[in-house]
């Protein structure tokens, strides 16, 4: 089923189903052939992000269960990080070169791409590492699965609306902090809070708490802007690595262009956030066509 509550099911049963489906999806991917490692890691980490977004939504209701399960999923995700990071650097370079082909010249791109390929291969050469990590993650997920039925879940949408309002307020607070400080780390934190709001609104899309279309579009757009901002931040760090970009003088020139674009994204994000977070939570979550 989709990553959302069904209007015909009990609220607590729906949340339980969603968590179990995400856990089962991750287990199925990790139990697949090693040749599909890249897809398995990507899909598993996506399930982890969804589960943690749901956990943050339900935190006040979950009590100590939140601390236990959030830490569990965080630690399991960390076991897969080396494999995801090796792919992410390559994906960032390839995506930016495709979107902005004139940003760096072809010889520089080819050399950087080859360097990152070698780095990824070094991670994969330690092939025994991935099966062992995948096995550990599956065991951890199976342990988590066994306890889901005992989670103290909210039983009605009135309770859930209050919890979603808490997410909205956290995202609005993060927006103000990022706007005030202009610090990259604060934009990164804001991105995480917006992703929480995005995932949680997806869960409630088929219920009476569904957000108006214009709000959903604004959340999607803001998540996209902040995601692009994050990618450029990663790329800036990559440009400073002489093992990847040997010609550091050229890399410095490219970095100046990347920084300029990142700051443009910051401005676009702030403008989108100002419009999105301009009203109180009660008005934001009022049932609208």
Q: Which phi and psi (to 5°) does residue 143 adopt?
A: -65, -40
CA 269 to chain centre: 17
pLDDT for the residue 125: 62
Q: Is the full-model pTM beyond 0.85? A: yes
**Per-residue pLDDT tens digits for 97-113:** 887 788 888 888 898 89
pLDDT band at residue 124 using 50, 70 and 90 as cut-offs: low
Contacts of 266 (CB under 8 A, 6+ apart): 178, 182, 187, 229
Which residue bears the tokens 């992410």? 88
Residue range 135-152: average pLDDT?
96
Pair 186, 171: CB distance under 8 Å: no
């Amino acid at each position: 089923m989709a990553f959302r509550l069904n209007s015909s099911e009990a609220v607590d049963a729906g949340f339980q189903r969603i968590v179990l489906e995400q856990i089962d999806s991750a287990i199925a991917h990790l139990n697949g052939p090693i040749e599909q490692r890249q897809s398995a890691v990507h899909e598993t980490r996506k399930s982890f992000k969804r589960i943690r977004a749901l956990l943050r939504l339900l935190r006040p209701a979950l009590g100590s269960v939140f601390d236990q399960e959030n830490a569990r999923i965080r630690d399991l995700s960390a076991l897969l990080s080396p494999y995801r990071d090796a792919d992410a650097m390559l994906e960032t370079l390839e995506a930016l070169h495709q979107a902005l082909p004139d940003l760096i010249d072809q010889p520089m791109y080819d050399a950087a791409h080859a360097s990152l390929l070698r780095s990824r291969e070094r991670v994969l050469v330690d092939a025994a590492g991935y099966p062992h990590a995948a096995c550990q993650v599956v065991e951890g997920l199976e342990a988590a699965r066994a306890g889901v039925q005992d989670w103290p879940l909210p039983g009605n949408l009135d309770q859930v609306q209050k919890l979603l309002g808490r997410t909205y307020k956290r995202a609005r607070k993060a927006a103000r902090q990022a706007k005030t400080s202009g610090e990259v780390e604060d934009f990164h934190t804001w991105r995480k809070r917006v992703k929480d709001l995005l995932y949680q609104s997806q869960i409630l899309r088929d219920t009476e708490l569904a957000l108006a279309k214009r709000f959903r579009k604004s959340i999607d757009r803001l998540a996209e802007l902040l995601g692009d901002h994050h990618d450029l931040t990663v790329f800036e760090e990559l440009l400073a690595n002489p093992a990847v970009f040997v010609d550091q003088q050229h890399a410095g020139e490219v970095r100046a262009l990347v920084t300029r674009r990142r700051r443009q994204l910051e401005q676009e994000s702030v403008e989108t956030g100002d419009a999105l977070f301009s009203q109180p939570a009660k008005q934001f979550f009022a049932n609208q066509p």
